[in-house]
A and B are shown apart, each in its own frame.
Chain A
């Protein structure tokens, strides 16, 4: 028995098998917005937060911070100070494509989650920040949102109670950095999306200086489920320290890529089997378990590893966004790392020097190795560069750029050394 329990008979809750669930009437016929009604009528705001705390829900956007705890950071309500929620739908981590599918197939679960979170923290409005590339999905969400407003499920006096909250769509325009919470706030304020220094944390001073909470799409979509089925039910799904249903976005060299919903704590080997195994019966070479910024795992490191914070940490990686990329034995890890470095070079916002310059140097050095003109000493230089970048910038983009470089070189050193020219100089590592 794995941590995920009896996953073979798991019934999906985030994306339940119902035709046309994205229509408001279908969603309501399935008991949708009932959790919101219960909460508005019978619960106190702090009871909602307590229930989410009890569920053990952790953020699904990458960092895995406990959601209930995050909600409880909001300062006490003051009558003349508006409070905001930002829903982070700026899904641009390479290898991640779950939020887009959730927004397409079950947008009302997201809206209901937003409204429940809003009630729990007594918020005035929620900004739904969707990345600009998802323009088709923005139209879809806007259509459904107008129906939500028509049905008096959002706006003023929701469901006849005295609680009012707005949901406002915001369209990004193609910047990976906007997925970082402070940067998202700057972008909302109509500025260049440069991350802010923390503290002050968003709960103290967020958009326009008002208390703000920022949650990922999938995290907020879990809120109605927690209310509906109870925090204890949620805490009993999947791994104990990281419970709940998760959308695994599986891509790469597998027979059946796609978004799968299963509990946390699934064995990686089980997930690979669910996704149809490796393409052309090739062997697995490497796995990126949660988007580009988490350390890559070698095939021999995944035995018995499950998809939850604890187990992946022990294995030397992170859960990230659960966007899993499987790579087969023919994969050129130098080319892989070159593309990752290129991505971070392109997406560095340019605010902090170690990141702006460092990511560029990383790309140049790895390109040189990929072109067969690198020296062995370049590998040491790259690792040294990682040391100079990590923890020396305002946001975590520099760390996210340094981790894959450090770990790919460490775990696939042979691949890199074979591509380098032999060195007459002593090599340290």
Chain B
């Protein structure tokens, strides 16, 4: 028999993956189940709630190995293949274990020419890992992201699918990493519109935790 038949080139999703979670861990709590019921009620069929439930599962388990996808499928009474298909389609659903903090550095073209790759290179050096990898201590995963929709505040990054950090400089990155080390939650930053600065003298939100302004973007040294 040809070698590739015995040893499939592609790892199939069902080929007995090593489970990351035990049977006891693989349950939703009653509160989570109530949430799932709410999600399902918002759609004509349970299918619509798949993405919400996958988000819920990812928050709970940190990532989505096959057994978690199976749990989601059972919970929604959907075929495993459909949940697997959805989970593998979207980049924000993590299929393998990531660090505690996932740093998504935007390098799409506005950021590319305003220092996105410099930010990425600085983080690579600082954390000692290449893009796409996790530090050996398991704290940080460094990733190159496609446009995150904050082009006016380049270079920027997103931390663990949550808050955005804008107008990054080496000093700002150091401060951010120090805050993460100290376990402080990163604030939601509100970016002031230039016209608001002129007409209202600053940010329009008085309840904003942190405020940032649009600034002159830096000169990019690297573009890849």
Which residue numbers of A lie inside 8 Å of B, CB to CB? Answer: 12, 15, 17-22, 82, 91-97, 99-101, 104-105, 131-136, 168, 170-176, 187-193, 208, 249-261, 275-276, 279-280, 288, 292, 323, 325, 327, 330-332, 335-336, 338-340, 343, 346-347, 349, 370
* In the complex, residue of chain B having the shortest beta-carbon distance to the beta carbon of A257: B152
- Segment touching A, from B14-22, B171-179, B202-210: B202-210
Min C-beta distance of A236 to chain B, whole Å: 21
**Within 8 Å CB of B223, what residues of A?**
332, 335, 339
Q: Tell whether, in the assembled complex, residue A173 and residue B51 are in contact, meaning their CB atoms are under 8 Å apart.
A: yes
Interface string of B27-50 (1 = CB under 8 A from A): 000000000000000111111111
**Within 8 Å CB of B154, what residues of A?**
251, 257
Q: Does B109 contact A (CB under 8 A)?
A: yes
Q: Tell whether, in the assembled complex, residue A105 and residue B55 are in contact, meaning their CB atoms are under 8 Å apart.
A: no
A173 CB contact (under 8 Å) in B55, B146, B151, B194: B55
Q: Tell whether, in the assembled complex, residue A279 and residue B217 are in contact, meaning their CB atoms are under 8 Å apart.
A: yes
B149 CB contact (under 8 Å) in A134, A257, A260: A134
CA distance A133 to B161 in the complex (A): 6
Chain B interface residue bracket vs A: 35 or more
Q: Tell whether, in the assembled complex, residue B195 and residue A261 are in contact, meaning their CB atoms are under 8 Å apart.
A: yes
CA distance A61 to B195 in the complex (A): 22
Min C-beta distance of B169 to chain A, whole Å: 16
With contacts A251-B154, A257-B214, A260-B194 taken as known, whether A173 is within 8 angstroms of B50 at the C-beta atoms is no
Q: Tell whether, in the assembled complex, residue A251 and residue B91 are in contact, meaning their CB atoms are under 8 Å apart.
A: no
Q: Tell whether, in the assembled complex, residue A133 and residue B92 are in contact, meaning their CB atoms are under 8 Å apart.
A: yes
Interface string of B46-88 (1 = CB under 8 A from A): 1111111011000000000000000000000010001001100
**Within 8 Å CB of A105, what residues of B?**
193, 204-205
B108 CB contact (under 8 Å) in A20, A94, A136: A94
Q: Tell whether, in the assembled complex, residue A101 and residue B151 are in contact, meaning their CB atoms are under 8 Å apart.
A: no
**Within 8 Å CB of B107, what residues of A?**
339
Interface string of B179-219 (1 = CB under 8 A from A): 00000000010110111100110001111000000101101
Q: Does B163 contact A (CB under 8 A)?
A: yes
Q: Does B90 contact A (CB under 8 A)?
A: yes
Min C-beta distance of A341 to chain B, whole Å: 11
* In the complex, residue of chain B having the shortest beta-carbon distance to the beta carbon of A94: B147
Q: Tell whether, in the assembled complex, residue B92 and residue A258 are in contact, meaning their CB atoms are under 8 Å apart.
A: no
Q: Tell whether, in the assembled complex, residue A173 and residue B54 are in contact, meaning their CB atoms are under 8 Å apart.
A: yes
**Within 8 Å CB of A100, what residues of B?**
149-150
Q: In the complex, which residues 89-134 of chain B have their Cβ closer than 8 Å to any Cβ of chain A?
A: 89-93, 107-110, 112-114
Q: Does B224 contact A (CB under 8 A)?
A: yes
Q: Tell whether, in the assembled complex, residue A187 and residue B51 are in contact, meaning their CB atoms are under 8 Å apart.
A: yes
